[in-house]
Structure 1
Amino acid sequence: MKQIARQELHIEPLTGSIRINVKVYRGIQKSGSKLTRRKKQDGIIRPTVKPDTDNYYKAVSDALTGILWEDDNQIVEIHVGKWYSDQPRVEIEAEEID
């Protein structure tokens, strides 16, 4: 994640207090019924399997330290969620709030 962030982000790290929103989209397993698959795509069924949301947050905060923010102690507000998607990915929004 750190390497991708360095390649994609060409900004100076944020310096103030930060609010972050982390959205983790996990792949949908091939097995299972069409109904279950649709419910996962629609966000009705959400992942309750490992890794835990706090592990995703820690990986993101560590990887983006020195790139998106100077130090992860600047993060004062956090929201992390997990969903299923046909396009697995992690989306990160960071906003300076002071």
Structure 2
Amino acid sequence: MKQEILERLETEVKACKRYAENGVKKAKEGKIGLAINFLDIAQTAKKCANQAHEDIWEVSQGKLTDEEFELFAEAETLDRELQRAYEEIKRARK
């Protein structure tokens, strides 16, 4: 069970980052609608990552290996990725 949750967390973290980055890229290209779509997908992935983040903490009772903890901590920084995409979309709209 723990391994499944970790895999889910890793998948969602990667998805969030990938879609947020694609949102930034499309905003820079002036494709605002597409950038917003990517940002929406990134936000959904973040919500899923947050759930997996909570689940892994509960299942592991806070006892994570260094590698697991890195992934756990990475999930806590996803807001920065989303904010970056949002700011780039804002700039592109001006």
TM-score greater than 0.5 by the shorter chain: no
More helix by share: 2
Task: Please report the TM-score for the alignment, with normalisation by the length of structure 1.
Answer: 0.29
Indicate the structure (1 or 2) with the bigger Cα radius of gyration: 1
Query: Relative contact order (C-alpha < 8 Å, sep 6+): which is higher?
Result: 1
More strand by share: 1
Task: Please report the TM-score for the alignment, with normalisation by the length of structure 2.
Answer: 0.30
